[in-house]
Amino acid sequence: MAIVSSTVINELKSTIKAIAVSGKGLLAADESTGTISKRFNALNIACTEESRRNYRELLLTTPSLEKYISGVILYEETLYQKSTQDISFPELLMQKKIIPGIKVDKGLIQLPGTDEKSTQGLDGLFERLKDYKAQGARFAKWRAIYSIAKNTPSRLAIQTNAEDLARYAAICQETGIVPIIEPEVLIDGDHTLDRCFNVSAEVLHTVFHKLYTHKVLLECVILKPSMVTPGNSCLQQISHQDIAEATISVLKQTVPSAVPTINFLSGGQSPLQAIQNLNAMHQNKTILPWNLSFSFARALQEPCMNAWLGKAENRNMAQEIFSKQVKLASLASVGKYEHGLESKQK
């Protein structure tokens, strides 16, 4: 068990309780400036501090967001920005009883001696978390990536990333911040479903071993994994059912039942694929020990950003589209999405 006081444990548990709610998921709106620039540039949207603020305000002020979303992961810039009504974004979320969170890793760097990546941001993390907490953040996110190729991910990359995820999680818990642990097995490549299954199993086994070693309290973490899918250039024909079965099977083999909630990333699947795969996981009749929901960025935001295009006159339409997408993901998180609903839903 983590060496944190009972007051801090209670604080962590109350955050988890507010997040792991059946039928609700997380919105990842924590794209770094580099990542959101790429997304905006692709749509010819000017990327400035003000256009990013405008876009994030559009997302966060979408009517009824709180019916489907229990927490939002913000980027550091957004955590300190304010709405047009001069309310800080974390405060705006808290008024809707949505928990504000923050991406705390500082991005990817080359893992020396390899062509793989590790994640930076541990130095000074304890102090940064205290500032983020004062600003309203109650949970955090750290993303590690694993690329599948003939000789990767290497044992070194798997071990190093797991160690860093565990150190990050322990530091978060010490400050009363719930850590989202995000080991993303990338979808890029022509690998098969089986290969992704095997890599995901090894990655998750190693992550949970390191979490144990670093005395992380498993009851107070959120796991944010990728779904088990074939690579995006693999020609294998795979159903949502196959993906759901492989994903659940890997999770059952590797994730202790003490973990309260698993919230998937969408990882470059189309928005509909991600929603249908999550929905298929809930068709499985066996009882799962964890809440199983979403923490999507692209699968929630893509249709909305495409509709907005940086133009004030598109704002209402973009919010409506966003609201529909969030509702579809919410339905999928309890297995109630039905085929074709995306075109019918008003």
Question: Whole-number minimum distance, CB 182 to ligand 13P, in Å?
Answer: 6
- Phi then psi dihedrals of residue 328, to 5 deg: -60, -45
Minimum CB separation from ligand 13P for residue 129, in Å?
A: 18
- 117-119 and 108-110 beta bridge pairing: antiparallel
**Of 218, 151, 152, whose CA–CA distance to 181 is shortest?**
218
Structure-block tokens of residue 238: 């795979």
Query: Is residue 322 a contact residue for ligand 13P (CB under 6 A)?
Result: no
Instruction: Answer yes or no whether residue 244 interacts with ligand 13P by CB under 6 A.
Output: no
Contact between 75 and ligand 13P by CB under 6 A: the answer reads no
Choice among 116, 184, 224, 302 that is catalytic = 224
Does 182 qualify as catalytic in the annotation?
A: yes
Sites for ligand 13P among residues 13-72 (CB under 6 A):
28
The Cα-based distances of 271 to 308, 332, 342 in angstroms read: 17, 12, 11
Residue with Cβ nearer ligand 13P (243 or 299): 299
Let me know if 245 is a catalytic residue.
no
| Nearer of residues 2 and 89 to ligand 13P, judged by Cβ | 89
For the four alpha carbons of 19, 134, 184 and 255, in that order, the dihedral sign comes to negative
Q: Determine if 263 is a binding residue for ligand 13P (CB under 6 A).
A: no
Kindly write out the interface string for residues 105-144 of this chain, putting x where it contacts ligand 13P by CB under 6 A and - elsewhere. Answer: --------------------------------------x-
- Tell me how far apart the alpha carbons of residues 344 and 346 are, in angstroms, rounded to a whole number: 6
Quote the CA–CA distance of 156 and 140 in Å, as a whole number. 25
Q: Which of 186, 265, 281, 326 binds ligand 13P (CB under 6 A)?
A: 265
Of 228 and 265, which has the nearer Cβ to ligand 13P? Answer: 265
Of the two residues 180 and 220, which places its CB atom closer to ligand 13P in the complex?
A: 180
Closest to 166 measured CA to CA, from 174, 292, 293, 15: 174
**Any idea which residue has 């699947």 for tokens?**
269
Q: Which one among 71, 225, 267, 303 touches ligand 13P, defined by CB under 6 A?
A: 267
Q: What is the DSSP letter of 314?
A: G
Interaction residues for ligand 13P, span 174-193 (CB under 6 A): 182
299 contacts ligand 13P (rule: CB under 6 A)? yes
Residue 298 as a binder of ligand 13P (CB under 6 A): the answer is yes
For residue 266, state whether it binds ligand 13P (rule: CB under 6 A).
yes
What is the smallest separation between the CB atom of 239 and ligand 13P, expressed in angstroms?
21
Query: Given 31, 182, 202, 302, which residue is catalytic?
Result: 182
Secondary structure element (H or E) that encloses residue 102, with its range: strand 99-103
* Whether 203 contacts 223, CB under 8 Å: no
Torsion of CA 269, 274, 63, 41, to 10 degrees: 0
- End-to-end C-alpha distance for the chain, whole angstroms: 47
Closest separation in Å from C-beta 328 to ligand 13P: 14
Residues involved in catalysis: 182, 224
What residues line the site for ligand 13P (CB under 6 A)? Answer: 28, 143, 182, 265-267, 296-299
